[in-house]
Amino acid sequence: MIRIAIVEDEKEQADHLESCIRRYSEEHGTGTQVTVYSNVITFLEQYKASFDIVYMDIMMPMMNGMDASHLLREKDDKVMLIFVTSMRQYAVKGYDVAASDFIVKPFSYPEFSLKFTRALSKLPQSKNDDILLRTDGGFVRLPADRIRYVEVRGHHCVYHTDSNTYQQYQTMKAVEDALPKEFFARCNNYLLVNLAFVEKIDGLMVRVAREELPISHPRKKSFTDAFAQYAGSRRYD
């Protein structure tokens, strides 16, 4: 799973870039998870070193992408940074913040595809969110974005996906440590939910992919806060 952030204040431009990523994922079978930020300040305040690639617009209000990139590098010196700009002359300054590449607006899908392929080839091969689970017949590699929620049953954790369930002898803490924290949150002590599948929160119930799951009183605030942060990062202000 390749985790990508798009930092772009113009919705049309961000939508175009995201659609290119989605199309590439479908054509090449590459797992991607995209988070869009329309506000660069919000992006920096909420930033955790969990993305593989950041697409940064250079010309933005409040703070330009170059200044934002210097602050980003203080938080994360390893994430791949790619500038998106309508003025090619600004892109050359990317060397100051170790930018890997740049895309000049307007760009077509073939142009994006060529550069994205090159970017993926530079990513460390070890970075992924796949979970390796033991089955009766051997092992199965389960991408994190297929997991709807994980449930504790006795001394086992049960992974619920769109098509199957998998049971493992392990603790919930081990599951939490293995999955990306910005996308998973506990709604109670025995349920860990993939926030991407949350359809509705109503009182002490959360609907996850058409299933109703209970929220405990002690976990309600942290769970709803986690979902609000997740949902807010994917919408425009």
Q: How far apart are CA 125 and CA 128, in angstroms?
A: 8
The pLDDT value given to residue 127: 44
Report the range of poorest mean pLDDT among 9-13, 14-18, 26-30, 153-157.
Answer: 26-30
The pLDDT value given to residue 184: 95
Q: Average pLDDT over the chain, rounded to whole?
A: 88
The pLDDT value given to residue 126: 43
Q: Where in the chain is the domain with CATH 3.40.50.2300?
A: 2-122
Q: Which two three-digit tokens encode residue 97?
A: 């913040």
The pLDDT value given to residue 225: 94
| pLDDT tens track for 141-163 | 788 888 999 999 999 999 999 88
Q: How far apart are CA 98 and CA 88, in angstroms?
A: 17
Give domain 131-232's CATH architecture.
Beta Barrel (2.40)
Average pLDDT rounded to a whole number, residues 29-36: 86
The pLDDT value given to residue 230: 84
Give yes or no for a contact between 53 and 2, defined as CB atoms under 8 angstroms apart: yes
Half-sphere exposure of 217 (CA within 13 A, CB side): 0
Average pLDDT rounded to a whole number, residues 44-51: 88
| pLDDT tens track for 1-10 | 788 999 999 9
Average pLDDT rounded to a whole number, residues 206-231: 94
CA nearest neighbour of 31 among 183, 150, 154: 183
Give yes or no for a contact between 2 and 32, defined as CB atoms under 8 angstroms apart: yes
The pLDDT value given to residue 131: 80
> Predicted confidence band at 68 (pLDDT cuts at 50, 70, 90)?
very high
| pLDDT tens track for 71-118 | 999 988 889 999 998 876 655 555 567 788 899 999 999 999 999 999
| pLDDT tens track for 202-215 | 999 999 999 999 99
Report the range of poorest mean pLDDT among 15-19, 130-134, 187-191, 197-201.
Answer: 130-134
Q: Where in the chain is the domain with CATH 2.40.50.1020?
A: 131-232
Half-sphere exposure of 133 (CA within 13 A, CB side): 26
Give me the torsion for CA of 126, 129, 135, 140, rounded to 10°: -70
Q: How far apart are CA 110 and CA 229, in angstroms?
A: 33
Domain at 2-122: CATH code? 3.40.50.2300
Half-sphere exposure of 25 (CA within 13 A, CB side): 14
The pLDDT value given to residue 98: 77
